[in-house]
């Protein structure tokens, strides 16, 4: 049997669906509509391919009526084959390529327990990050053993960047699968700046927000720490301010020499 590619198999199944399951007509249809192919299957070969795909895609053959059609309906095989070829395909593309209505294609996929899982956006990690995070976890556990409420006095802070160059629409990103494929996409927003907003939280107090004017470099962040942060902490009780630890990430502006020098003086070892 010739070695057909997945694209060729889908085209053969599309031909069979267009001919409503008639194998001889499908062989003629495939030859007419897909010129230049290396192999042209006859009606017997198309039947073998259909049965093999049904077994592979676990489609039973019986006459029990279902909510879409009976299991012999070639549209079921066409839809499942297209999803198998391209898990990211949309119902609109299936309708455009096959003529099968979106609602019918969706019912077929749901019937076979497919779910359109959405992409998960994750922060890109550097090669040394796992080791450093493990070190932090060990350090944090030691602190908690010494002072159980230690993290009540840590001011967790971060900046968020709002920009105008668009965002990924997760609603339009699908991966049809019977099981969750845990599809992820790494993002790296921390090096792109537009409007930057800082916010912190400590011991139940919300600190900020504070809006930076322009890009956040070492000088701008130092100005914030020296002049703006004390004002933002005015409503925090004295005990919290006395025991306060400052947390921020490893962004370049946080690691500049002038910022580290000031923090080591203002929050020694904190």
Report yes or no: 109 and 90 within 8 Å, Cβ to Cβ.
Answer: no
Report yes or no: 198 and 212 within 8 Å, Cβ to Cβ.
Answer: yes
Q: How far apart are CA 30 and CA 39, in angstroms?
A: 10
The residue out of 61, 90, 113 marking a domain boundary is 113
List of E strands, 167-213: 174-177, 184-187, 195-202, 205-212
pLDDT band at 35 (very low <50, low <70, confident <90, very high): confident
List of E strands, 76-151: 115-118, 120-123
pLDDT at 170 over 60: yes
**Same domain assignment for residues 40 and 157:** no
- Residue-level pLDDT at 202: 96
pTM over 0.75? The answer is no
**Same domain assignment for residues 66 and 142:** no
**Same domain assignment for residues 27 and 66:** yes
Report, as an integer, the average pLDDT of 29-56. Answer: 85
**Same domain assignment for residues 204 and 252:** yes
**Same domain assignment for residues 179 and 216:** yes
pLDDT band at 66 (very low <50, low <70, confident <90, very high): very low
Note whether residue 193 is domain-resident. Answer: yes
Note whether residue 192 is domain-resident. Answer: yes
Cβ neighbours around 151 below 10 Å, total: 15
Q: What are phi and psi of 245, to 5 degrees?
A: -110, 145
pLDDT at 145 over 70: yes
pLDDT band at 172 (very low <50, low <70, confident <90, very high): low
pLDDT band at 57 (very low <50, low <70, confident <90, very high): low
- Residue-level pLDDT at 223: 93
More confident residue, 38 or 58: 38
The residue out of 92, 113, 134 marking a domain boundary is 113
**Same domain assignment for residues 134 and 230:** yes
pLDDT at 7 over 90: no
Note whether residue 145 is domain-resident. Answer: yes
pLDDT over 70, % of the chain = 87
The residue out of 113, 147, 173 marking a domain boundary is 113
- The pLDDT tens digits of the residues spanning 211-255 come to 998 788 999 999 999 999 999 999 999 999 999 999 998 889 999
**Same domain assignment for residues 130 and 16:** no
**Same domain assignment for residues 141 and 248:** yes
Report, as an integer, the average pLDDT of 69-98. Answer: 81
pLDDT at 16 over 70: yes
Q: 85-89, long-range: CB within 8 Å, 24+ apart, which pairs?
A: 85/6, 85/7, 85/10, 87/174, 87/175, 87/176, 87/177, 87/181, 88/173, 88/174, 88/175, 88/176, 89/174, 89/176
- Residue-level pLDDT at 164: 58
Note whether residue 1 is domain-resident. Answer: no
Note whether residue 13 is domain-resident. Answer: yes
Report, as an integer, the average pLDDT of 116-131. Answer: 86
The boundaries of the domain holding residue 235 are 121-266
In DSSP terms, which residues pair with 231 in a beta bridge?
A: none
- Residue-level pLDDT at 163: 67
- DSSP result, 129-142: HHHHHHHHHHHHHH
**Same domain assignment for residues 168 and 147:** yes
- Residue-level pLDDT at 72: 63
pLDDT over 90, % of the chain = 34
Distances (CA, A) of 119 to 80, 112, 176: 21, 21, 11
Q: What's the CATH number where 129 sits?
A: 3.30.420.10
- Tokens for 68, please give them: 């879409």
What is the domain count for the chain?
Answer: 2
């Amino acid at each position: 049997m010739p070695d057909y590619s997945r694209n060729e198999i889908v085209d053969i199944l599309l031909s069979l669906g267009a001919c409503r399951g008639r194998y001889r007509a499908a062989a003629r249809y495939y030859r007419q509509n897909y010129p230049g192919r290396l192999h042209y299957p006859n009606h017997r070969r198309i039947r073998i391919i259909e049965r093999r795909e049904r077994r592979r895609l676990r489609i039973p053959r019986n006459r029990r009526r279902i909510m879409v059609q009976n299991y012999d309906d070639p549209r079921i095989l066409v839809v499942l084959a297209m999803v198998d070829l391209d898990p990211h395909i949309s119902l609109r593309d299936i309708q455009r390529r096959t003529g099968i209505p979106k609602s019918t294609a969706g019912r077929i996929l749901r019937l076979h327990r497919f779910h359109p899982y959405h992409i998960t956006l994750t922060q890109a990690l550097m090669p040394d990050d796992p080791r450093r995070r493990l070190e932090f976890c060990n350090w944090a556990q030691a602190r908690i053993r010494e002072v159980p409420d230690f993290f009540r006095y840590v001011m967790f802070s971060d900046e968020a960047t709002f920009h105008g160059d668009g965002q990924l629409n997760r609603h339009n990103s699908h991966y049809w699968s019977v099981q969750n494929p845990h599809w992820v996409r790494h993002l790296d927003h921390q090096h792109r700046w537009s409007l930057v907003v800082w916010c912190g939280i400590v011991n139940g107090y919300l600190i900020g927000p504070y809006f930076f004017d322009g890009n956040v470099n070492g000088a701008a962040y130092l100005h914030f720490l020296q002049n703006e942060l004390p004002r933002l902490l005015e409503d925090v009780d004295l005990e919290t301010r006395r025991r306060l630890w400052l947390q921020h990430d490893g962004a370049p502006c946080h690691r500049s020499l002038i910022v580290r020098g000031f923090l080591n003086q203002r929050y020694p070892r904190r």
